Amino acid sequence: MGQKKAEVKKAVILAEGEENRLPPLTNYCPTLMLSIINKSLIEFTIDFLKNNGIEEVMIFMSGNDKIPYELREQNTSDIKIHFHIGDKPRGTAGYLKDVEKFIGEETFIVINGNVFIEDMNLVKAIEFHHRMNAAGVVGVYKDDNSKMVRESIDIAPDNKIKNIHITYSSIEGWAPWRSSGIYIFDPIVFKFIPESGYMDIKEQLIPALQRESLNVFAYEIEGSYQCMDNVNDYLRIQRYILLESDNKSIYFENKKELAEMIWAGEDVKISPKAYLLGPIVIGDGCTVEDWAQIIGPAVIGNGCHISQGVLVRESILWDDVSLSNGSKIEYSIIGEKSNVPDNSYIKNMIVLNGLRVGDANLIPSVYGLKGTVKLSGIIPITGNVYKILKRIMDVVLSALGILFLLPLFLLIAIAIRIDSQGPVFYPQKRCGIRGKLFNMIKFRTMVANAEELHKDLIHLKECDGPMFKISNDPRVTRLGRIFRKTSIDELPQLFNVLKGEMSLVGPRPLIMDEMRFSPSWRDIRLKVKPGITGLWQIQGRSEASFHDWIRYDIYYVKHQSLWLDMKILFKTVKVVLQKLGAY
């Protein structure tokens, strides 16, 4: 008997670029095209959907990504693939609204673009969805051993989802359930997604459904799959396939097993004087010359050339990599079309063409990866020189600023006490680098009981992001309005800079709750110190949309340089003088 097919016929794959998973790999290759054992991630996902009876798939991509030729080739009588190119961040739920006509009146599947599926019982999940008369079902898995809990899902005894918590660090006692990145929805959900703006599935759409008493359930997914949120996950999948998977025939069906645990594609030339110790998979058209050594687990992409005396140990080579004589590659990832010079030694590194200083910030501190390598003479780009110079600039300029502004600080303090009751300074817990909390200091611009009045004003919110902003906030004092227009209230943060909690330039420090709508944006911006000013501030601050805010923060982290910092500082002066977007 053949495998039972799912009744659902349409699926959506959220492979949009602005989610920024797996950096810095995805700076140069979209997530859906990342190579898993010589095959792109999206090909595995399409095969899985096709085998489960899905007939049409919509793939979301960012405006910067080109539709891969391999995906065009996937269109067959068994499955039809469509593409939606997004021109701005819309959020995981926002993108669904864009293809409402494609979905029609049918139940549909949603899969995040970073999910690797080896085997999963989709039929049972869909049957559960229909049996429970659900508006939505969130596929979940149990993770009892997570050292850094980013997400926790509270599930009631009847399997209804109670809450979804997203944070940057673990909290003792939280539920062990995590989202698998796989959802099942009925088309009724479209009624709760706005036509424009940003909306996330877990943090905004699901609560909106629950507020209308619509059923949203959790379902424990059966099978083998992995969410790839960082480079560590990417490496783990490759090792799992080579060392543990019982379905190796799926991955190596077009390859020959030359020796025990050594698989090779077509037109592969391996010198008899080379030494190979599996598990190793070698792609089509590769050459391995005399005295080369490849020690597994290792993945060699298509068209790679491994010259004489080269050592490759437990590493991943993407397509068309050339390793010149005597080079040694250990525990590393070598990007597509990289040419490594003679006698190079690369260990615990990611090698990609066109790397930037900011890319080193995007590598998780796991699996031993220490930094990135730029292929112009193999110069390590760890960002250390930039960080040292940036810190020197922060200390010097903040110290000079404090000394110069001390008389003004004294006058402001007196004026605040005269203008309204309450303290001079307003400290607030904000998230610093790696999510570490610190007290960000501002001159008080609101009445003393401003926090108590917040809940009564939430309906007046004017910005589309998670922050609360209204142009005529009644809590702001008379003097506070002047301070906000001129950004004088931000000056005490020079002390935060001097202490090393902030930098002059960086993403604006927020509280964790204000970053919950876009976890990937949060994770990237928390890899660097927050700043007094940044790209978002010089683009108009409160007048800039939330999706632009996401873009500016991510761009800054990826493109950091002293020159960019200085440009932002100079432009900040201009923006402040013009009072752009300040209220």
The per-residue DSSP string of 388-427 comes to HHHHHHHHHHHHHHHHHHHHHHHHHHHHHHHHSSS-SEEE
Report the pLDDT value the prediction gives residue 404, as an integer from 0 to 100: 93
pLDDT at site 10? 93
Q: Is the dihedral of CA 250, 253, 254, 257 positive or negative?
A: positive
180 phi-psi bin (left φ>0, alpha ψ -120 to 50, beta other):
alpha
pLDDT band at 366 (very low <50, low <70, confident <90, very high): very low
Is the model's pLDDT at 476 over the cut of 50?
Answer: yes
DSSP code per residue over 148-207: S--EEEEE-TTSBEEEEEE-SS--TT---EEEEEEEEE-GGGGGGS-SSS---IIIIIHH
What number is the average pLDDT over the span 376-388?
A: 56
- What pLDDT shows up at residue 358? 54
**Band (18; pLDDT cuts 50, 70, 90):** very low
Q: β-strands 371-374, 379-381: how paired? A: antiparallel
**Residues 240, 252: Cα–Cα separation, whole Å:** 14
Query: What does the pLDDT average to over 139-143?
Result: 83
Residue 367 has pLDDT above 50, yes or no: no
pLDDT score of 409: 93
The pLDDT tens digits for 236-257 are: 899 999 998 888 878 888 899 9
Question: CB 423: neighbour CB atoms within 10 A?
Answer: 12
Which pLDDT score, from 0 to 100, does residue 228 have? Answer: 84
Average pLDDT (151-174) is 70
Q: Token digits for 19?
A: 């989610």
Residue ranges of domains in the chain, CATH in brackets: 10-141+178-229 (3.90.550.10), 258-382 (2.160.10.10), 385-578 (no CATH)
Is residue 402 very low, low, confident or very high in pLDDT (cuts 50, 70, 90)? very high
Q: What is the mean pLDDT of residues 386-404?
A: 91
Q: Is 220 exposed, middle or buried (0-12, 13-18, 19+ CB in 10 A)?
A: middle
On whether the CB atoms of residues 523 and 114 are closer than 8 A, the answer is: no
CB atoms within 10 A of CB 376: 10
Average pLDDT over residues 207-223: 90
Residue 398 confidence (pLDDT):
94
pLDDT tens, 49-106? 988 889 999 988 765 555 555 565 555 567 888 888 877 778 888 889 988 999 999 9
Question: Rounded mean pLDDT of 561-581?
Answer: 80
User: Which is higher by pLDDT, 129 or 222?
Assistant: 129
The answer to whether 561 and 578 are in contact (CB under 8 A) is no
% of residues, the chain, pLDDT over 90: 35
Mean pLDDT of 535-553: 72
> What count of Cα atoms within 13 Å lies in the side-chain half-sphere of residue 34?
30
What pLDDT does residue 583 have? 46
pLDDT tens digit sequence for 265-279? 999 999 999 999 989
- What string of DSSP letters covers 16-48? -GGG--STTGGGTS-GGG-EETTEEHHHHHHHH
CA nearest neighbour of 509 among 467, 480, 474, 548:
467
Residue-wise DSSP of 417-443: HHHSSS-SEEEEEEE-GGG-EEEEEEE
Q: Give the pLDDT mean for 300-321.
A: 95
pLDDT digits (tens, 9 = 90+) for 482-504: 888 888 889 999 999 999 999 99
The more confident residue out of 512 and 379 is: 512
Classify residue 113 by its DSSP letter: T
Supply the pLDDT for residue 363: 52
More confident of the two residues 366 and 554: 554
Looking at every residue in the chain, the average pLDDT score rounds to 81
Condensed to tens digits (0 to 9), the pLDDT of residues 311-365 reads 999 999 999 999 999 999 998 888 888 888 888 888 888 887 765 555 555 554 4
Compute the average pLDDT of residues 156-176: 68
Mind listing the pLDDT tens digit for each residue in 418-473?
Answer: 988 889 999 989 989 888 899 999 999 888 776 766 666 655 555 555 565 666 77
Q: Is residue 148 scored above 90 in pLDDT?
A: no
pLDDT of 286 > 90? The answer is yes
pLDDT band with cut points at 50, 70 and 90 for residue 376: very low
